[in-house]
């Protein structure tokens, strides 16, 4: 039987719905629709309305859209051929939320980044190599470049393989990401306060002070010791989400750290992420429980892992008396999280071990559905 797409059999579209081409993709431990920039409105306000309608936000269940009622499945990717010399594709990441109408294009997402090259190959934007295909991608959110390599045996994209990443069931073809310039992705610098450790004072009804590392090597993050918050750091995600006093205390700390990191008022922003660190439980470098920023992550974000791994090799950081780090100029650090681990390879400058030359890691991705997402026609009228 011939393999025809559903759209070939639809003869009449509803008058009050507008189709927008997309591919629903999993990238690492995240998921969301990917669009060509040319298939979306040209102005930002209309584009954001289209993304919100496509995802079904704001609604905690996102019942009227593609969203999965969680920040990790409330993401979107927008791709275009790049005009930057030496770069193949530009990628704009959009973080949406189930229960509000925000569309945040400020931070990166290393998980969704893993799906950019597969999406480009699916859409015929790039010639596949024989065996593997590598493309340079510019993340427009923070002007960060990286080289991404995917499996293309016989010059055809492959999703199946033996690579396994924690937080995703089964195995898949490996996707390697080599980050070229992650320091100070959103903050003014990798260490926005100029220090590897700060004593942060939090005011309010229940004031407190706590040691923290404020760092951005791909993702703005606040790292604190789990023990300083009365927990061990091996708690389940459900237990941490149910710990309302802990969540309130972390949010108060996050709001206090925003200005210190050069981020201003972060009350409505999805960063900085909060990370509780503890000694490793399963032979890794460090155990983590990350908040994104107000609920606990089931795993850890790609660029969050890069940033945590970076803290592990910096003298004086909050991780120094906790992390297990081997010697050598090239280090592989296994960052433990609630559903497993994520390994990050860091290359240090032999002349200055506090300088990170390269960060690389492995992800997987898969196309879940191809077609059109239907949005109310009133969301996007004309050719805005």
Flag whether 182 is in a domain: no
Q: Please answer whether residues 361 and 342 qualify as being in contact, where contact means their C-beta atoms are separated by less than 8 angstroms.
A: yes
In terms of domains, do 131 and 216 share one? no
pLDDT higher than threshold 60 for residue 3: no
In terms of domains, do 256 and 168 share one? no
Q: What is the pLDDT of residue 15?
A: 87
Flag whether 304 is in a domain: yes
pLDDT higher than threshold 60 for residue 250: yes
How many C-beta neighbours within 10 Å does residue 164 have? 14
Q: Please answer whether residues 203 and 189 qualify as being in contact, where contact means their C-beta atoms are separated by less than 8 angstroms.
A: no
pTM here is 0.79
Q: What is the tens place of the pLDDT at every residue in 176-204?
A: 999 988 889 999 999 999 999 999 999 98
- Residues facing 176 on adjacent strands: 149, 362
- Residues facing 78 on adjacent strands: 35, 92
Flag whether 231 is in a domain: yes
- Residues facing 138 on adjacent strands: 90, 145
State the DSSP H helix or E strand holding residue 45, giving kind and residue range, or none if neither. helix 44-55
In terms of domains, do 130 and 237 share one? no
Dihedral angle of Cα 246, 250, 251, 255, to the nearest 10 degrees: 160
Flag whether 158 is in a domain: yes
In terms of domains, do 63 and 102 share one? yes
pLDDT higher than threshold 70 for residue 137: yes
Q: In the structure, what pLDDT confidence band is assigned to residue 6 with cuts at 50, 70 and 90?
A: low
Q: What is the pLDDT of residue 1?
A: 44
**Mean pLDDT across the chain, nearest whole number?**
94
Flag whether 193 is in a domain: no
User: What is the C-alpha to C-alpha distance for residues 39 and 89, in angstroms, rounded to an integer?
Assistant: 16
Q: What is the tens place of the pLDDT at every residue in 324-366?
A: 998 888 899 999 999 999 999 998 888 887 788 889 999 999 9
Q: Which domain holds residue 94?
A: 17-174+365-379
In terms of domains, do 231 and 131 share one? no
pLDDT higher than threshold 70 for residue 86: yes
In terms of domains, do 75 and 132 share one? yes
Helix, coil or strand: residue 148? strand
Q: Please answer whether residues 149 and 185 qualify as being in contact, where contact means their C-beta atoms are separated by less than 8 angstroms.
A: no
Dump the DSSP string for 196-253: S-EEEEE-SSS-EEEEEEEEEBSSEEEEEEGGGGT--S---HHHHHH-HHHHHHHHHH
pLDDT higher than threshold 60 for residue 40: yes
- Residues facing 358 on adjacent strands: 347
Q: Please answer whether residues 7 and 103 qualify as being in contact, where contact means their C-beta atoms are separated by less than 8 angstroms.
A: no
Q: What is the pLDDT of residue 353?
A: 76
Q: What is the pLDDT of residue 350?
A: 87
In terms of domains, do 121 and 169 share one? yes
In terms of domains, do 115 and 236 share one? no
Burial (0-12, 13-18, 19+ Cβ within 10 Å), 332: middle
- The residue with greater pLDDT, 7 or 266, is 266
In terms of domains, do 208 and 328 share one? yes
Q: What is the tens place of the pLDDT at every residue in 103-136?
A: 999 988 999 999 999 999 999 999 999 999 999 9
Among the residue ranges 7-11, 59-63, 101-105, 244-248, the one predicted with the least confidence is 7-11
- pLDDT > 90: what percent of the chain? 85
In terms of domains, do 348 and 206 share one? yes
Return the CATH number at 35. 3.10.310.10
Q: What is the pLDDT of residue 351?
A: 86
Flag whether 8 is in a domain: no
Q: What is the pLDDT of residue 7?
A: 57
Q: In the structure, what pLDDT confidence band is assigned to residue 146 with cuts at 50, 70 and 90?
A: very high
Flag whether 134 is in a domain: yes
Flag whether 192 is in a domain: no
Q: In the structure, what pLDDT confidence band is assigned to residue 10 with cuts at 50, 70 and 90?
A: low
Which residues lie below 8 Å from residue 329, measured CB to CB, with a gap of 6+? 347, 348, 349, 350, 353
Q: What is the tens place of the pLDDT at every residue in 272-287?
A: 999 999 999 999 999 9
Q: In the structure, what pLDDT confidence band is assigned to residue 264 with cuts at 50, 70 and 90?
A: very high
How many C-beta neighbours within 10 Å does residue 59 have? 16
In terms of domains, do 141 and 221 share one? no
In terms of domains, do 241 and 150 share one? no
Q: What is the tens place of the pLDDT at every residue in 293-314?
A: 999 999 999 999 999 999 999 9
**Nearest Cα residue to 139 out of 302, 356, 362:** 302
pLDDT higher than threshold 60 for residue 321: yes
**Number of structural domains, the chain?**
2
């Amino acid at each position: 039987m011939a393999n025809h797409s559903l759209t070939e059999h639809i003869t009449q579209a509803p008058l009050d719905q507008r189709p927008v081409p997309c591919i629903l993709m999993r990238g690492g431990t995240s998921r969301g629709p990917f669009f060509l920039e040319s298939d979306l409105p040209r102005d930002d306000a209309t584009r954001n309305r289209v993304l919100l309608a496509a995802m079904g936000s704001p609604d905690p269940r996102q019942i009227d859209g593609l969203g999965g009622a969680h920040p990790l499945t409330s993401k979107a990717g927008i791709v275009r051929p790049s005009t930057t010399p030496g770069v193949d594709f530009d990628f704009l990441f959009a973080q949406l939320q189930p229960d509000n109408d925000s569309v945040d294009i400020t931070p990166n997402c290393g998980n969704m980044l893993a799906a950019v090259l597969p999406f480009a190959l699916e859409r015929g934007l790039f010639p596949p190599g024989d065996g593997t295909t590598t493309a340079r991608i510019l993340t427009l959110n923070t002007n960060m470049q990286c080289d991404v390599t995917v499996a293309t045996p016989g010059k055809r994209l492959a999703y199946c393989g033996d690579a396994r990443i924690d937080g995703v069931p089964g195995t898949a073809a490996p996707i390697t990401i080599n980050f070229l310039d992650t320091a100070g992705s959103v903050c003014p610098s990798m260490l926005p306060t100029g220090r590897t450790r700060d004593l942060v004072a939090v005011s309010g009804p229940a004031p407190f002070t706590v040691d923290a590392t404020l760092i951005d090597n791909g993702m703005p993050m606040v790292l604190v010791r789990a023990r300083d918050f009365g927990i061990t750091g091996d708690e389940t995600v459900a237990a941490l989400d149910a710990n309302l006093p802990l969540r309130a205390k972390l949010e108060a700390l996050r709001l206090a750290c925003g200005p210190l990191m050069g981020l201003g008022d972060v009350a409505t922003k999805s960063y900085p992420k909060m990370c509780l660190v503890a000694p490793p439980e399963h032979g890794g470098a460090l155990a983590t429980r990350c908040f994104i920023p107000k609920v606990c992550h089931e795993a850890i974000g790609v660029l969050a892992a890069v940033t945590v791994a970076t803290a592990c090799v910096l003298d004086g950081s909050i991780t120094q008396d906790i992390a297990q780090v081997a010697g050598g100029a090239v280090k592989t650090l296994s960052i433990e999280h609630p559903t497993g681990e994520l390994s990050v390879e860091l290359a240090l400058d032999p002349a200055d071990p506090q300088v990170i030359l390269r960060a690389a890691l492995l992800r997987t991705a898969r196309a879940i559905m191809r077609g059109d997402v239907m949005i109310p026609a009133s969301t996007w009228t004309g050719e805005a």
